[in-house]
Amino acid sequence: RRGSVVPAAASPSPDALPGRIPAARVPAPDRTAPAPPSRVKVALCQLAVGADKPANIAGAREAILDAARDGAALVVLPEMWNCPYANESFPAYAEVVASVEDWTAPESESEPDSESASPSVAMLSNAAKEAGVVLVGGSIPERCATTGALYNTCCVFSGDGSLVAKHRKTHLFDLDIPGEISFKESDTLTQGESLTVVDTAVGRLGVGICFDVRFPEMALAMANRGAHVLVYPGAFNTVTGPLHWELLQRARAVDTQCFVLTCSPARMEGASYQAWGHSTAVGPFAEILATADERPTTVTATMEMEDIARRRRNMPLEHQRRGDLYALHDLDAETEK
């Protein structure tokens, strides 16, 4: 009905308009998440990543345990932390990752040179259990056991080493800026087909990977499912990073009034892909809680979880959102009715 105008006095109820879904203005039925702890210390491990996979695994494990010893309850790793960020690397470094339903915790870490091993995933599970932390395991290249398709996949583990969520990157990084950078993940990777929101000991987490952060619809959908914290392992480059990395994180915090966490690999001299770094923790009022430069480090911040409710009380966007004019439909909510 582009261009049409309904006089104010004759405007029907939004629910009565043809094609309207009444639930468009109503949060999803299971939106209320268990109350998170009042305070959560998070560690963002900005790792040096090279071609030596066992060294990458060992370095990530050490960073996780160090972060736990420093008091972190939530630890986040970068995107593609077990391999160089390159299309030719993804097939060679890929591992099979079971579904959450089929997951069985490994008794020990797999041998990195074993053809059937998933050493990165085994390390994440064991390190989360040893450290007793919620671990957002950055991302690694995943090979589907049935189709052979490759995905950019983030695994989330609880403090007992259980796999509680697996997110496949839903928006692939395809970029071509003449004279500056050209990179297309879709040359080797397949996009994921679902969003990921999971309850953990540190609150309800919404998980995206890198390019996912550019899409406010995704962030709003995760917030509408009750997420307290949006976590984006990412690897922006030195072309888009200076302009967009912090801007997008703060924008998603403004959109959702959630905490937003990003974790990047460190910049590596001589690497074909130059990561921007600058892993960052952002508060629900878009304030920078902690950040870094491009070098290997661990960024720590304390999330005061009451800030979410306080900011939403002070600026009640969820009650002011006009779902009668623009609808972000929660398909799960419609199915549950």
Catalytic residue IDs: 79, 169, 210
- 82: CB partners within 8 A, 6+ apart: 49, 53, 56, 57, 60, 93, 120, 140
Close Cβ partners of 105 (under 8 Å, ≥ 6 residues apart): 125, 129, 161, 162, 163
State how far the Cα of 265 lies from the Cα of 205, in Å rounded to an integer: 21
Return the SS3 of 181: strand
Those residues whose C-beta lies under 8 Å from the C-beta of residue 264, and which sit 6 or more positions away, are 46, 78, 79, 233, 234, 235, 236, 275, 276, 277, 278, 279
Q: Which two tokens stand for residue 314?
A: 């002070």
Strand partners, 260: 230, 282
Structure tokens, 221: 């959908």
Relative to beta strand 74-76, strand 39-46 is parallel
What is the rounded CA–CA span in Å between residue 77 and residue 280? Answer: 12
- CA 33, CA 200: separation in Å to the nearest integer? 10
Give me 200's structure tokens.
């953990």
d(CA 52, CA 132): 27
Q: Tell me phi and psi for residue 313, to 5 degrees.
A: -70, -45
C-alpha angle 257/263/264, rounded to 5°? 135
Between the CA of residue 133 and those of 43, 156, 205, what are the distances in Å? 10, 11, 14
Instruction: Kindly compute the dihedral angle of the four CA atoms of residues 97, 100, 104, 109, in this order, to the nearest 10 degrees.
Output: 40
